[in-house]
């Protein structure tokens, strides 16, 4: 049986998943609350990381070292920066990258950390399975690049700066690339799922406060559908 580790940044984002988890066992490690249990018949560890790359990396490392999940999924909300994305739309990562890293003075690509790839590739077999599960319920997530940085993006200048480096980027948030980097070091596949809480414009701060709960529920709903699909396929 495959074991999943699921990381959410905020309480609004993890709430729906915790409500569906059974046989729950809570363990506190470094102020992080890890919830081990099942969603349906699927083994799932849930944890709320807190906001930002350092929190996400710490949580991912502890999760992977302690529980050794087969897959890490980072779910929650993001700002839509790709063309045609609207509030409530969902993006699944084909890969993740940093938009706030600059080591170009040493010959690295924009966004590339030394000794790391510019883009951390997601576990595409799981991306495809999540897409398939979503399509079965009429959901149509987009698949593409999600970028991360310790910034809340709001405004055309910030979006233009990101798209200059990553013209293919669909969404911007504050954790996914850190999770992807840690998962790579542990040789563990990962997927990032993000529902759009805003479209990263000048109104994004207001929109985020208004829609973050709905966005968290939306990305959680897609993950729950994937778990249900996985459970059904195991029973076939």
**Out of 13, 173, 175, 217, which one is annotated catalytic?**
13
Q: In b/e form, how buried is each residue of 44-69, taking b as 16+ CB within 10 angstroms?
A: bbbbbbbbbbebbbbbbbbbbeebeb
The verdict on whether 201 is a catalytic residue reads no
Structure token digits, residue 105: 């003075």
Cβ neighbours for 146, distance < 8 A, ≥ 6 positions apart: 78, 91, 93, 95, 96, 97, 169, 170, 171, 172, 173, 176, 177, 192, 194
Catalytic residue among 175, 198, 207, 217: 198
Q: How many whole angstroms separate alpha carbon 119 and alpha carbon 235?
A: 36
Residue 198 among the catalytic residues: yes
**b/e map of 156-183 (b: 16 or more CB within 10 Å)?**
eebbeebbebbeebbbbbbbbbbbbbbb
Closest CA to 45 of 101, 92, 2, 91: 2
Give the separation between CA 63 and CA 29, rounded to whole angstroms: 9
d(CA 175, CA 158): 18
Catalytic residues: 13, 198
């Amino acid at each position: 049986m495959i074991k999943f580790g699921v990381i959410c940044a905020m309480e609004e984002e993890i709430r729906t998943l915790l409500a569906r988890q059974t046989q729950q066992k809570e363990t506190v490690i470094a102020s992080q609350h890890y919830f081990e249990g099942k969603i349906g018949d699927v083994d799932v560890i849930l944890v709320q990381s807190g906001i930002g790359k350092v929190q996400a990396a710490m949580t991912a490392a502890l999760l992977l070292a302690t529980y050794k999940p087969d897959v890490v999924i980072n779910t929650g909300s993001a700002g839509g920066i790709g063309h045609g994305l609207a509030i409530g739309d969902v993006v699944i990562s084909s890969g993740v990258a940093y938009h706030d890293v600059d080591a170009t003075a040493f010959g690295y690509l924009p966004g590339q950390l030394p000794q790391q790839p510019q883009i951390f590739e997601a576990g595409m077999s799981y991306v495809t399975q999540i897409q398939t599960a979503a399509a079965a319920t009429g959901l149509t997530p987009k698949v593409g690049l999600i970028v991360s940085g310790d910034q809340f993006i709001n405004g055309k200048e910030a979006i233009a700066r990101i798209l200059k480096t990553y013209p293919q980027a669909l969404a911007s948030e504050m954790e996914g690339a850190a999770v992807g980097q840690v998962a790579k070091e542990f040789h563990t596949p990962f997927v990032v799922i993000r529902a759009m809480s805003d479209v990263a414009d000048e109104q994004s701060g207001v929109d985020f406060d208004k829609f973050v709960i709905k966005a968290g529920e939306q990305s959680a709903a897609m993950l729950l559908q994937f778990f249900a699909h996985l459970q059904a396929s195991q029973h076939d």
